[in-house]
Homo-oligomer: A and B are copies of this chain.
Amino acid sequence: MTVIFSKKCEYGLQAVLYMAAKESGCVCPSEEIARKLKIPKEFVSKILQNLTDSGIVDSKKGKSGGFMLAKDPSKIRLIDIVAAIDGLDIFNSCVLGFPSCSPDKPCPVHHNWGELRSKAYEMLASETLDKFKEKTINKIGKI
């Protein structure tokens, strides 16, 4: 059951939050991330490779290599990860699945849903990763 984001996106968000909670610049191998978040290693590795292409994370090959954030946490928002993985189409789509949403043909829940979409976007766009550090540590456990 999908809430909003694909598994790929959920794992990507979790992984990036995890990295942001560590000392800045420190290198995390995908094995560590997978173990801490209890998600498949190869999968998270693939996802982080994607995010590397998107310029959100950086990677270091070879022994004692791994992934790290490409920018300062204060420069990364959750919505950036969502945009890179799932895209931003959800924020223009209808909950009821009606095609061609337009203001002159509003669906039955248009007003409410439009507002919720905006709030959700705002939630993901207004704060940067550095704001989440403590809560991430509390949620995931010791880092």
Contacts and interface: CB of A to CB of B under 8 A. Distances in A.
Interface string A84-102: 0011011001111111000
A116 B108 contact: no
**What range describes how many residues of A lie at the interface?**
35 or more
Interface in A1-22: 1-7, 10-11, 13-14, 17
B132 A123 contact: no
B1 A97 contact: no
A107 B17 CA distance: 10
Nearest to A134: B108
Contact of A108 (B11, B17, B107, B112): B17
Interface in A70-90: 78, 86-87, 89-90
Interface in A111-128: 112-113, 115-116, 119-120, 123-124
